[in-house]
Amino acid sequence: MRDLKPTDLPELNRILEATGAFTAAEVEIAMELLDIVVAKPEQPDYLVAVAEDAGKIMGYILYGPVPLTEGNFDIYWIA
């Protein structure tokens, strides 16, 4: 697992579409959240971990802390 890089976005978009689990609107929203993380990596609301094997992106998870709690997180996207 590693941090998100701006160059990951096209492949993550391809993975989201290839799952067949998300509508076009859902893929668009998922990509908007990834764009937020790329544009403002210091923002605290969304965290991303990218799974990679032998240099190939296998998937990702986007999650964030649950407000008013300590150590609790919501998973927003996983593909």
Q: How many domains does the chain have?
A: 1
67/58 Cα distance (integer angstroms): 30
Q: Which domain holds residue 45?
A: 6-78
Q: What CATH number should be reported for the domain holding residue 20? A: 3.40.630.30
Contact 79, 16 (CB under 8 A): yes
Contact 9, 62 (CB under 8 A): no
Q: What is the pLDDT of residue 17?
A: 97
Q: Quick check: is 44 in a domain?
A: yes
| 16 HSE (CA, 13 A, CB side) | 24
In order along its 79 residues, the chain shows pLDDT tens digits of: 999 999 999 999 999 999 999 999 999 999 999 999 999 999 999 999 999 999 999 999 999 999 999 999 999 999 9
Q: Quick check: is 1 in a domain?
A: no
Q: Quick check: is 19 in a domain?
A: yes
Beta strands in 1-79 (DSSP E): 47-53, 56-65, 73-78
Q: Quick check: is 28 in a domain?
A: yes
Can you say whether the dihedral through the CA atoms of 5, 53, 45, 63 is positive or negative?
positive
Q: What is the pLDDT of residue 63?
A: 98
